[in-house]
């Protein structure tokens, strides 16, 4: 399809599967995370899915405005435009409110919510100048329903939905669209990292969610649409 798709947190899990889905369908992708080694390995694997010239691998932190500006600039320099931004980078902790530390709270909010805000803020002028663009924010089923021991994660994902709706209202007459995707629990390393046990049969495959994200990226629904993907 030859669009340029920038995906945050795209070296493993949902982000990696989404990058592979767009790449194999003919789109060009910009992938990155904070760890260069993870990016190198992701790029190696993706090169078996689509042409290496359609992959731009970067290193950056979604919590840092200067990194976001730099990566957007590098994407534009390489491909000339950014048609789709997928805000996927996310972390979580499984702890009750009273034992969640300030550091854990701030890290989750800064990654999941502030990072999404910063990327939206920086990409809107780029897309408006192009005359079109689509932003897809990855929220969660826990962005509409609170669950014990997920205080920071739920707060961040509720916030992503609110931010999506605000952005949709602001850009609806500027040739741009913004959506949010709300997946259920997905079979990624995040689940094991936070130490919770879920029956594997209850988990979504990252590749299945990636296909649903690709479908949303066709941009047929009105701006502000929430895509629930629970099964």
pLDDT tens digits, one per residue of 209-224:
999 999 999 999 999 9
pLDDT at 178 over 80: yes
Q: Dihedral sign, CA of 200, 201, 204, 205?
A: positive
pLDDT at 19 over 90: yes
Task: Report CA Rg, the chain.
Answer: 16
End-to-end CA distance of the chain: 27
pLDDT band, very low/low/confident/very high, at 193 (cuts 50, 70, 90) = confident
Residue of 94, 153, 179, 230 marked active site: 153
The C-alpha atoms of residue 150 and residue 154 are separated, in whole angstroms, by 6
Question: Which is higher by pLDDT, 24 or 231?
Answer: 24
Question: What is the domain count for the chain?
Answer: 1
pLDDT at 231 over 90: no
Q: Where are the alpha helices (DSSP H) in the chain?
A: 13-24, 36-46, 65-79, 102-109, 115-130, 151-171, 189-193, 206-216
Q: What is the pLDDT of residue 190?
A: 84
Range of the domain at 9: 4-229
CATH code assigned at 152: 3.40.50.720
Whether 153 is catalytic is: yes
Give SS3 for 105.
helix
Q: What is the mean pLDDT of residues 73-102?
A: 97
């Amino acid at each position: 399809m030859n669009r340029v798709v920038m995906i945050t947190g795209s070296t493993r899990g949902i982000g990696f599967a989404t990058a592979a889905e767009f790449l194999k369908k003919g789109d060009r992708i910009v992938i990155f995370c904070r760890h260069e080694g993870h990016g190198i390995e992701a790029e190696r694997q993706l090169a078996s899915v689509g042409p290496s010239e359609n992959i731009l691998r970067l290193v950056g932190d979604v919590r840092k405005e200067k990194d976001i500006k730099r990566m957007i600039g590098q994407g534009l320099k390489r491909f000339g435009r950014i048609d789709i931004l997928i805000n996927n980078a996310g972390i979580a902790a499984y702890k009750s409110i009273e034992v969640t530390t300030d550091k854990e709270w701030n890290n989750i909010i800064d990654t999941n919510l502030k990072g999404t805000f910063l990327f939206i803020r920086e990409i809107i002028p780029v897309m408006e100048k192009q005359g079109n663009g689509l932003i897809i924010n990855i929220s969660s089923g826990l962005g509409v329903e609170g669950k014990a021991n997920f205080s920071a994660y739920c707060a961040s994902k509720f916030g992503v939905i609110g931010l999506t709706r605000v952005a949709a209202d602001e850009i609806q007459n500027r040739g741009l669209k913004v959506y949010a995707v709300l997946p259920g629990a997905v079979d990624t390393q995040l689940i094991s990292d936070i130490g919770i046990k879920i029956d594997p049969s209850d988990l979504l495959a990252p590749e299945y969610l990636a296909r649903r994200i690709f479908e949303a990226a066709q941009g047929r629904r009105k701006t502000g649409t929430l895509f629930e993907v629970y099964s």
